[in-house]
Amino acid sequence: MDAWTALADPTRRRIFELVAARPRAVGALAELVPVTRPAVSQHLKILKSAGLVLDRAEGTRRIYRADPAGLEELRAELDRFWNQALANFKQLVEHTEEDP
């Protein structure tokens, strides 16, 4: 699953926002979203496979945080999208101005 598809789910997007704000364990995340701990784990698994989160062992817990490389790729895709959209808009405006 790609990053955009992974973030399309509102619960998964909320979990991502929480780990982007600061690293958190599954239990801490489960307290902040309206799903069970197993469901949080499944969402994190999808986010991890999409390249959006990293995890590390801390005792018996796993701590999740946003993956900077995944965020960089999302930003690059948005930049490409907006650069193309603005170029298209500029071309449309210039073409409209040329027509009387």
Helix (H) or strand (E) holding 77: helix 68-98
Structural domain range at position 89: 3-98
DSSP label at residue 59: T
Give the per-residue pLDDT at 56. Answer: 95
Give the per-residue pLDDT at 28. Answer: 96
pLDDT tens over the chain, length 100 residues: 899 999 999 999 999 999 999 999 999 999 999 999 999 999 999 999 999 999 999 999 999 999 999 999 888 888 888 878 888 888 888 887 666 6
Give the CATH number, domain containing residue 7: 1.10.10.10
Give the per-residue pLDDT at 85. Answer: 81
Q: How many domains does the chain have?
A: 1
Helices 10-21, 37-49: crossing angle, 10 deg rounding:
80
Give the per-residue pLDDT at 29. Answer: 96
Tokens of 90: 């500029």
Give the per-residue pLDDT at 100. Answer: 60
Closest CA to 25 of 72, 60, 52: 60
CB 3 within 8 A of CB 52: yes
